Chains A and B, each alone.
Chain A
Amino acid sequence: MKLTIDQRWDLIDKIAKQTITFGEYRHTLKDANGELTIKPFTGIPIAIAVMYAFWSIFGSFAGFFTDGFFVRLFDAYWLPWLQEVFPGQGGWLYAIMVDAGGIEGGEFVLSDNCLESFGVLTSGLFVAIGVVLPAIVIFYLMLALLEDIGYMPRLAVLIDTMLHKIGLHGYAIVPTILSLGCNVPGVTATRILETKKQRFIMMTLLAIFIPCGAQIGIMQDVIPGLMGWILLYLIIGYFIFGYILNKIVPGKAPEFLIDVPPYRRPMLSNIGKKVWGRIAGFFKVAIPFVLLGAAIVGVLYQLGVIRFLGDALAPVFVGWFGVPKETAGPLIAAFLRKDLAVAQLSVIEMTEYQMITAVVLVSIYFPCVATFAMMLKEGWKELLGAMAVLTVVVFAYGGLIHLIGILLGVA
């Protein structure tokens, strides 16, 4: 049976009368509050407060588990026990699995904490379970809460104008914030952007300038006082190089339309499912890489490769970036896991400014291998392009930070 246009409209009217109830609309306080969070003049202060709460709770929660319990558990019980029961003290397997130790007065000396031991079962497990896991749990819990309340679309609207300056739009806040948890889902989330240009810019910026939750967790634990400066350098870099990429990468950056939902009471079951799904992903992807990273770095140390690279690259590290040549090891480890690399940097003797530079370099130097694999999945041309940009950024931005340090008299 074929209906004419008029018959169709009649049918629509009939269905509408039976299914839709019309009533008087009243603007509620919830609606008014929703509007306040979108208007720039009032929305930006609220966004500043939301971000404050995010980081404050993140720091308190992660510090509670890591400093309150895990540091003691690993340093006072787990490490001494393993040092005692693992056979072959001083041998290469012992160094890789438990404790690389050190030489004092010609004698082998054991480490007294898990950050300095560099073993798979000590540093590797401590970083993965003791430091990164609490950070990841609270990060994803907070993110799920913001998503379920309905705040994320509002943040996207608020930041839209700013992100247009770097060729993106408000939705780019989703992969950016996801990447603060783990770069892997962040890279996947770039698919919500419409054009190739936008996806390329976003993927490149994520790989270079967005530290993952694991890295932030370990920074919070080992260098809390410097974290603000490091994040500031990364945010500035994100916008500077985003702006440059927007100018040189061909393609379009269209406007976007978004349906902003009303605020809703979050559902516990939804939040539980989201957090569990993401943490399970972390267990599958990150923990094996942390342990593998600790093993590979241990082997490279034992074979003398790290020392060789440190010596060979010393002019670049010391002369161009202004950091000690010993940072070569952590930079190699950073390809496997950036959190592990920051932990290794924290025990190298250097000035505060050198530490800031070194951690920023770890962040921008190379995406971790899991992110690298994910980027490859998105397209080898995009990956090659991102790597080319990354090489330029590392040398340009690393050198610029060193130059700023020299000008300020702190480098």
Chain B
Amino acid sequence: MAGKSSVAAIYFAILGIVTTAFGIADILVTAGASEFAYGILEISGGLFRGGWGGVIVLFAGLFYLSGIRNFDDIHQCSKVVMGSILIWIVAGCDIFAMITESIPGGEDGPWFNTLDGFIGTYAPPYAPAVLLLPFSLVVVYYIYKRKQEI
């Protein structure tokens, strides 16, 4: 178990550092009132998604980092779980916004979007929280393991 928890601690330490960096980048880009895009990553300069969302991503990173020490302790583990929940909140909202944008046909188009337009909405680039989402799901394994132990 100790070996497994040290693997978890290393994994969430790396994820915590990356998440914190993304959160800071989000806030800096918003403060500069500009947008940033690199490959499949896009950081919004908007006050809501970039600023407010960025603050939450930053908090998620800090939750990860504060929870990695003594990961076996339930209170420490819950901090890591909460870090992932914060990522799920921001990413979930981004994905929900994508879904609601992908269905209507736009102001001058048909009532509903074309298939190409619909699929195109889900194409990259993505916000940092969406990119972090699959990595944050690893915590589900540890929640499951903990339930098994009870």
Residues of A within 8 A of B (CB): 26-29, 32-33, 35-36, 42, 45-46, 48-50, 52-53, 55-57, 59-61, 63-64, 67-69, 72, 228
Contact B59 A48 (CB under 8 A): yes
Q: Smallest CB–CB gap between A242 and chain B, Å?
A: 24
Interchain CA distance A81-B75 in the complex, whole Å:
63
Pick the residue among A46, A52, A61 that contacts B82 (CB under 8 A). A46
A73 — nearest CB in chain B belongs to which residue?
B111
Contact between A228 and B89, CB atoms less than 8 A apart: no
Interface centre among A49, A52, A59, A64 (most CB of B within 10 A): A49
User: Within 8 Å CB of A55, what residues of B?
Assistant: 48
Decide if B79 touches A52 in the complex (CB within 8 Å).
Answer: no
Residues 34-73 of chain B, each 1 if its beta carbon lies under 8 Å from chain A, else 0: 0000000000000111001101100100110000000000
What total count of A-B pairs have CB within 8 Å?
A: 84
Q: Are B93 and A53 in contact (CB under 8 A)?
A: yes
B contact residues around A60 at 8 Å (CB): 93, 96-97, 100-101
- Interface residue from A26, A29, A53, A63 paired with B81 (Cβ < 8 Å): A29
A192 to B74, CA, bound (A): 36
Residue pair B143, A29 in contact (C-beta under 8 Å): yes
Residue of B nearest to A30 (CB): B78
Smallest beta-carbon distance A47→chain B, Å: 11
Interface range, B side = 35 or more
What distance in Å separates the Cβ of A179 from its nearest Cβ neighbour in chain B?
A: 22
Q: Which of A28, A29, A53, A72 contacts B89 (CB 8 A)?
A: A53
Residues of B contacting A228 in the complex (Cβ-Cβ under 8 angstroms): 47-48
Is the CB–CB distance between A64 and B103 below 8 Å? yes
> Can you give 26 A-B contacts (C-beta < 8 A)?
A26-B150, A29-B143, A32-B74, A36-B78, A36-B82, A42-B63, A45-B56, A45-B62, A45-B86, A48-B55, A49-B56, A50-B89, A52-B52, A52-B53, A52-B89, A53-B92, A55-B48, A56-B96, A56-B97, A60-B93, A60-B96, A61-B100, A64-B103, A68-B100, A69-B111, A72-B111
The residue on A at minimum CB distance from B93 is: A56
CB distance from B23 to the nearest CB of A (A): 11
Residues B121-150 near A (CB distance < 8 A) = 143, 146-147, 150
- Shortest A64–chain B CB gap in Å is 4
Contact in complex: B111, A57 (CB < 8 Å): no
Once bound together, how far apart are the Cα atoms of A49 and B86, in whole Å? 7
List B80-135 residues whose CB lies under 8 Å from chain A.
81-82, 85-86, 89-90, 92-93, 96-97, 100-101, 103-104, 107, 111
